[in-house]
Amino acid sequence: MVVDTDSCEPDQNSMIRVITSGSKWLFSLAVIGTALIALFLFIMGFLIVIYAIIHTVIYPEFNVHFLKELLAIFIEIIDVFLVATVFYILALGLYELFIAKAPLPGWLRICTLDDLKSSLLGMIIIALAVLILGAALTWDGTSAILEYGVAIAAGIAAISLYVWVKH
């Protein structure tokens, strides 16, 4: 079969090369955007920690209720750091999968989108557990904490079932 090189039809291989090179730029935007979200959350969490400590030193209160509120604030900040970590791992995973090899730690092996999803789902479970801990610490005895806890537990169960079925 003879291929007509003067044809107006573009070569399929060159089209694939154009699409592939364009997708690297597209995923670069996703990686940079996700990394910026992670950086912003880390910085905001850090600034809130500093503010909470300074505020506590300047206006100290010595009672259990204040200590519980302070613990809840710190646990919520830990949750922000965990969410920031999820975004950071997502940025690294997208980079690893679609752009180039990244120097990832041994515990974070990302070869497929399923590997990335599994890592993210594990971090989401931890973040949800931290949320319910914060709610339990600040529970005033009147709000509907049971419904909140059941909703979070249902989310954790659904994610766990998904991960269990996939593996």
Query: Which pair of tokens denotes residue 158?
Result: 């659904």
pLDDT at 44 over 90: yes
In a domain, residue 6? The reply is: no
Q: Are 146 and 84 within 8 A, CB to CB?
A: no
Q: Are 95 and 26 within 8 A, CB to CB?
A: no
Domain residues for the domain of 161 are 13-166
| Verdict on whether the full-model pTM lies above 0.75 | no
DSSP symbol at 138? T
What pLDDT, on a 0 to 100 scale, did the predictor assign at position 149? 84
Query: Which pair of tokens denotes residue 117?
Result: 């999803």
In a domain, residue 7? The reply is: no
| pLDDT, mean over the chain | 84
In a domain, residue 4? The reply is: no
In a domain, residue 32? The reply is: yes
How many folded domains does the chain comprise? 1
In a domain, residue 5? The reply is: no
In DSSP notation, 91-132 reads HHHHHHHHT------TT---SSHHHHHHHHHHHHHHHHHHHH
- For tokens 């973040």, the residue is 127
- What pLDDT, in 10s, does the model give residues 120-162? 888 888 888 888 887 787 777 777 888 888 888 888 888 888 8
In a domain, residue 53? The reply is: yes
Q: From CA 108, how far away is CA 103, in angstroms rounded? A: 10
In a domain, residue 2? The reply is: no
In a domain, residue 8? The reply is: no
